[in-house]
A and B are shown apart, each in its own frame.
Chain A
């Protein structure tokens, strides 16, 4: 009575077949990343040394290292974070803790989605129009970082809002019942319980910001600048633009060099991502509710 009928067997086979097909698709999607990483390590690995990381480019960028670009990227990311994290966290707190479900909130959500969807080059145009020309920051770290900040704002808002909403509502109710105000509840219960999730989002934003090229091309990043920036009103080199420049604009660059730059850039980005992912898994394991 419980023997498999022919139909059962056929169904089982069909199911296995589809499962395998989808697995194959997944693997084909992921495989290129591993191949790319492999090639970058193989071709760019040998050039990377302490010298490469900590000296200036020489001979029209065909020799020497990447130090100014490395420092420049750190400047850009740091200033962008200073601008976007407070605004992003405030926006997320408002949306998660205060906002009523009305048309304004819907508009805000729609604006966030659209902000995330605007092409990076349009952000660049905005940066030129607003920060470089209108606010007269000129092409500077400040203008480039503010452009990056607006571009990555949705990442901060979405990640923060998610970790705020992961704090159970009962925590808040318990606090309100003790007579705490809304802000006291946020300050002493909600934020301490979600700060690590917010940090994960910030780390993710750092990795996003470090890799962007188009938004900084015309707002603050320079092709070649052999010295380090002194203030936010200086221009700077950046890793991402440096990779673009030496792989397309400069003749006679030894082949290993752009591979080395790409490897360092992708290493920075993936390391940040790995930290963020690891952090998230650790948190999920630690959570008690």
Chain B
């Protein structure tokens, strides 16, 4: 039965990463160290430490900046495509947004490395261009298409009768959008933002290449940081199967899995909220 395959796989993913990570979680893992220490030094010979705070801060700062850029622009684009554009313009814009979504993450990372990096150094006169700003900007562009598409879908799901009723009362198109369409589509828009956050959180290659990949608690957008995902990608190849370090990386994986799971679940519940009404 193909139908349940998705359930089997999602449970399988959880089981297999937990299986590899569990010995660490039960043994070496200290919850206080993991969440409060910024020292991620798994390769230290005498005293390896597994503090993920700097990695969490890295992921959060990059995703946060990405959302600051992506949320207004994607919602604006969704409103334009959904409410203002018509006919051919609308089709072309939708296709272009799809193309934005099609660029592979490793290519985005390469763009961060080869185009954004020198640009940031020159524009802001800073020594290193691989930082929160670079990764956040790129991640914003990467998360924007999914947010635009879902936001536009939820604007489209608002029945035309709502718009007609408001227009019949003498409202201008802008008033209709602001007072009628957006409130009616609110849940879908929230879900769009949540899924964008989830996308930013989980992005690996682009963040690995554009963020500078140095362990740091960022104090400005010009600091280099290191993300949770990037840490796994960069270190897994160098660890021995079964070592503490290897299992610690799987523990980061469990953490990421749970966070994205919660984000997706929340988005789904929010969307279901409108359907029930």
Contacts and interface: CB of A to CB of B under 8 A. Distances in A.
Chains A and B come from one and the same complex: yes
Interface of A: 11-12, 14-15, 18-19, 21-23, 25-26, 28-30, 32-33, 36, 39, 86-95, 98-99, 104, 107-108, 110-115, 117-126, 128-130, 133-134, 150, 153-154, 157, 207, 210-214, 217-218, 240-241, 243-244, 247-248, 258-259, 262, 265-266, 269-270, 273, 277, 281
Given A123-B13, A266-B107, A258 B114 contact: yes
Task: Say what secondary structure dominates the interface of chain A.
Answer: helix
Contact of B106 (A98, A124, A213, A270): A213
A18 B19 CA distance: 53
Interface stretch (B50-58, B70-78, B181-189): B70-78
Contact of B10 (A30, A114, A133): A114
B263 interface: yes
Contact of B114 (A26, A92, A112, A247): A247
Nearest to B199: A117
A271 to B, nearest CB: 10
A277 B95 CA distance: 8
Given A29-B97, A30-B96, A117-B198, A269 B73 contact: no
B17 A26 contact: no
Contact of B209 (A92, A125, A244): A244
A33 B9 contact: no
Given A94-B2, A118-B10, A281-B91, 19 more contacts: A11-B174, A14-B172, A22-B80, A26-B77, A26-B80, A29-B100, A32-B100, A87-B5, A111-B7, A113-B264, A115-B9, A119-B201, A120-B105, A122-B202, A124-B232, A129-B19, A211-B105, A247-B114, A266-B104
A18 B204 CA distance: 36
A126 B106 contact: no
B3 A26 contact: no
B203 interface: yes
25 contacts: A12-B172, A14-B172, A14-B174, A15-B173, A22-B84, A23-B80, A25-B73, A28-B73, A29-B73, A29-B141, A32-B100, A33-B100, A108-B6, A112-B6, A119-B256, A121-B233, A128-B20, A129-B16, A213-B106, A240-B106, A244-B109, A247-B110, A258-B110, A262-B107, A269-B104
Interface string B60-101: 000000000000111011011100100000010101111110
A117 B263 contact: yes
Nearest to A28: B73
Contacts of A18: 174, 177
B126 interface: no
Contacts of A207: 102
Contacts of B13: 115, 118, 122-123, 126, 150
A133 B4 CA distance: 24
A273 B1 CA distance: 30
- Range of interface residues on chain B? 35 or more
A90 B1 CA distance: 7
B144 interface: yes
Interface of B: 1-7, 9-10, 12-13, 16-17, 19-20, 72-74, 76-77, 79-81, 84, 91, 93, 95-100, 102-107, 109-111, 113-115, 141, 144, 148, 172-175, 177, 195, 198-199, 201-205, 209, 229, 232-233, 236-237, 241, 249-250, 253, 256-257, 260-261, 263-265, 267-268
Contacts of B249: 125
Nearest to A35: B115
A244 to B, nearest CB: 5
- The 6 closest A-B CB pairs, nearest first, are A211-B104, A90-B2, A119-B202, A25-B76, A94-B3, A22-B80
B80 A128 contact: no
Contacts of B202: 117-122
Given A29-B144, A90-B2, A125-B249, A36 B80 contact: no
Nearest to B13: A126
Given A243-B106, A258-B114, A121 B7 contact: no
B249 to A, nearest CB: 7
Given A108-B7, A121-B233, A258-B114, A114 B16 contact: no
Contacts of B99: 33, 270, 273
A89 B2 contact: yes
A247 to B, nearest CB: 5
A30 B93 contact: yes
B79 to A, nearest CB: 5
A243 B201 CA distance: 23
Given A29-B97, A30-B100, A111 B110 contact: no
